[in-house]
Structure 1
């Protein structure tokens, strides 16, 4: 099939493009051309900006595609643009949402699509969550009216190009601190359940939805099915690197006070359990069988970091040092505060 990917240069998009090519599809990417595209002569690229709505509409009307995968749909306005541009002209529109769109706290764990509701609070501490939810509400109304739209919600996903790994999103800085024997901050006690998903697995969901009529009018989340906890990521890295990992613990509230923008993701998303029931997507996309373990995925991530992305953010590294100093100072202050 002729598949258009809006975006195509992000962490997940690259894996989707690779899977689409492996499945024999003809792939075109539409993006602003600011990042390198997958190194394949089989991929065509159209340069443009979807936020220039009129130019986007006119450019796409000159093209013909069977399926569109929209990886850069963040707001209701983006969704309306895609609907105006493609519905009636393509067989299917697949939209990437996010598990961020779910209302917190969850109603049940593991999380199921038919139980949860979308974020209802426009003053949410994580505004992007409400934007995604509003985008979905708009699309789901059209889906109920019979439009061939599929929504897929990844959760926290890692892979080549990842730029948000670690409690402080330190990226290679996590690996560097382990190498140097420096302590790493962990929010809470580190035992919050979480499924770490890797890009080749999530790509199976998107590619498996292409032209799959069972997915028309449906919305899904798609994640790893391995049950781990947050500190497992750091402890597994230590085993991979052959180093002992020293963790110190601070609440997500304290980390929000230290660096509010940096730690919004902890407060809104990662302080809640991240275990998902994939029964629905496995029913409709039989090829979706997540198979990359946390250890395998982190080995691949470390290999990429050390080969290509081995730079440390000095600001975040200094912040982590200061957080450790504050942590040790607090322990000293409260030592023996209650006499036995």
Structure 2
């Protein structure tokens, strides 16, 4: 099939491109052209800026596609632009949303799509805007618009990503363990979670391509292995052979220290991240997120070391300050035991 990907170079979308090519699809990518893929010669590139509606329409107005996969819409206006552009020029639209779009607390455990409502608190803008995007798409389903498939990733790690760890500190995790420096964890670290990796998530998008069972449906696509957040750092420690030091500070206090960095902990990560994937397995036979936490973190470690990843100095300094405060507070608390 002839598939257009809006985006195509991100952590998830580069995996989608690779798997589409492996499946024999013709792939076109639309983006600003600032990053290239290792398989750039195997895809057609359209250079443009989707946020500029006029140039976006101009760039694709003479093209038709069997499927359009939109990885770069984050709000209702973005989705409106995609729908209006391809309503008569595509056979299917696959939209990347997020499990952040679910309202908390959840109504089901593990979480099922049809049991949940959409997020309605503007205070957490990312989740609210993704939910608004979905509300717009769902209002138009079945009203003469092109068929829409919505896929909601959970927290997903992969090559090129910068979102691993409580501070999204990536390689900082490895170097702190190796240097015997404490790592910061929110709460008590026992919130249940399923950690997903990009090659697995990409299977959902590729499996939905041209799949009529997925038309006008919404799915999450996640790893179903049961872990807790502490396991993320403990497994890195297992891989490099050093037991990590983990200190725990409440999410509420972390938000006070850095609202922009830690708000997601209160709105998202403080709730269980275990999802029931029965629906997507029903409609995309063979879908399975099979990369274990150990395998996925080994993939990330190999990337860090092969690419010569560096430590983020600002996040390193922040983690030092917060863990130092914790250690000092712990010493003061010991006085109550004396």
Common fold: TM-score over 0.5: yes
> 1:10, 1:264 → 2: CA distance?
23
Q: CA deviation at 1:287?
A: 2.5
Which residue is equivalent to 1:112? 112
Q: CA deviation at 1:144?
A: 3.9
> 2:286, 2:79 → 1: CA distance?
27
Q: Secondary structure at the residue paired with 1:114?
A: helix
* Residue pair 1:113, 1:220 contacting (<8 A) in 2 also: yes
Q: Secondary structure at the residue paired with 1:263?
A: helix
- Deviation string 1:117-152 (CA, Å, 9 cap, x unpaired) is 001122x2x201110000000001112436411000
Q: CA deviation at 1:62?
A: 1.6
Q: TM-score, normalised by structure 2?
A: 0.97
Structure-2 change in CA distance of 1:288 and 1:58 (3 Å): same
Count of residues in Structure 1 that have an aligned counterpart in Structure 2: 337
> 1:103, 1:38 → 2: CA distance?
38
Deviates more, 1:273-282 or 1:260-269: 260-269
> 2:160, 2:183 → 1: CA distance?
22
Q: TM-score, normalised by structure 1?
A: 0.96
Which residue is equivalent to 2:133? 135
> 2:7, 2:119 → 1: CA distance?
25
Which residue is equivalent to 1:4? 4
Which residue is equivalent to 2:149? 150
> 1:86, 1:333 → 2: CA distance?
62
* Residue pair 1:143, 1:218 contacting (<8 A) in 2 also: no
Which residue is equivalent to 1:306? 305
Which residue is equivalent to 2:51? 51
Gaps of 5+ in 2: none
Which residue is equivalent to 1:95? 95
> 2:280, 2:171 → 1: CA distance?
33
> 1:195, 1:143 → 2: CA distance?
30
- Deviation string 1:51-73 (CA, Å, 9 cap, x unpaired) is 11012112211212110000001
> 2:29, 2:273 → 1: CA distance?
31
- Deviation string 1:247-285 (CA, Å, 9 cap, x unpaired) is 111111111111111111211111111000001000000
Q: CA deviation at 1:338?
A: 7.1
> 1:209, 1:63 → 2: CA distance?
21
> 2:137, 2:331 → 1: CA distance?
54
Indicate the RMSD between aligned Cα atoms, in angstroms.
Answer: 1.2
> 1:16, 1:85 → 2: CA distance?
22
1:178-257 pair list within 5 angstroms: 178-257=177-256
Which residue is equivalent to 1:62? 62
- Deviation string 1:71-106 (CA, Å, 9 cap, x unpaired) is 001111111111111012211000000011111111
Gaps of 5+ in 1: none
